[in-house]
Amino acid sequence: MLNLKVEFPDDDPRLGAKGVLEDVAWTELMARSQNGDAAAYLRLLQEITPYLRRRVAAYHQDARDIEDTVQDVLLTVHSVRNTYDPSRPFGPWLLAIAKRRVFDSLRRKIQRQGHEVELSDEHDAVPDADDPLDAIPARVRLRGAIEGLPPGQRQAIRLLKIEEKSLKEASEETGMSIASLKVATHRAIKSLRRMLSDRGDL
């Protein structure tokens, strides 16, 4: 069960933003608005908006939420303006509507937050080099790049780097000199680096 209490504690609702006089002025403007005076209505709405914004800011930090709620209050004031009795002060009437709309906006916010889930590591989509699953695509690409090397370089990489044989063993197996194996390996790594970085992998 939602239990929200919306109060504007620092506020005597009979006062406007600056004091009693302003409320009298607002009462007058609202009475004229009810008679269809567009200029009075425009002035009233322009004057109550900063006042409402300050009241609503006590409940919302996000500027967007504040504007949203203020606009909701203005729209409600517009749609129920026939319920205002000019023989009574305007402030309490306005604040009662504002409280209702702040309450609604808080309820919407709580509902929205209920549908949101905080992201954990599980939701991380950036590949992690230590994760064996994430490493598979990289391995496939590396293998493809090795296949693209000239035969001498490919053999040198396979024996020395993948099968991790010593230079002497590799030399015996291929009949190549140790120096030419070193050169082949060096060139192979250089061209692998070029090939993979061209594709943005390194």
Partner 1 sequence: MIHTSDLIQSLAADIRPVRRLRPPAIRASGWLLIAGAIMVGLYFGKGLRPAFAERMSDTTFLIGMLASLATGVLAAFAAFLVSLPDRSQRWLLLPLPPLVVWLSSIGYQCLAGWVGLPPGAVTPEAAAGCASTLLVTSLPLAVAMLFMLRYAAAFRPVPVIIMGSLAVSALTCTALAMFHPLDATVMVLGWNLATAAIVTGVALLINRRASRQRRRHLRTTDRS
Q: Please report whether residue 21 would count as binding partner 1 according to CB under 8 A.
A: no
Q: Please report whether residue 49 would count as binding partner 1 according to CB under 8 A.
A: yes
Neighbours of 199 (CB within 10 A): 10
DSSP annotation of 35 reads: T
CA distance 97 to 124: 44
Amino acid letter at 152? G
Place of tokens 């808080």: 106
**In terms of CB distance, is 58 or 142 closer to partner 1?**
58
> Considering only residues 5, 9, 10, 38, which one is a binding residue for partner 1 as defined by CB under 8 A?
38
- Locate 124 and state its tokens: 């991380």
**In terms of CB distance, is 16 or 89 closer to partner 1?**
89
Q: Please report whether residue 96 would count as binding partner 1 according to CB under 8 A.
A: yes
**In terms of CB distance, is 33 or 155 closer to partner 1?**
33
DSSP annotation of 162 reads: I
**What minimum distance in Å lies between the beta carbon of 62 and partner 1?**
12
The number of helices, as runs of H, and strands, as runs of E, in the chain is 8, 0
CA distance 163 to 169: 11
Encoded one letter per residue, x for contact with partner 1 by CB under 8 A and - for no contact, window 76-95 reads x-xxxxxxxxx-xx--xx--
Positions touching partner 1 (CB under 8 A) are 33-39, 41-42, 45-46, 49, 64, 67-68, 70-72, 74-76, 78-86, 88-89, 92-93, 96-97, 100-101, 104
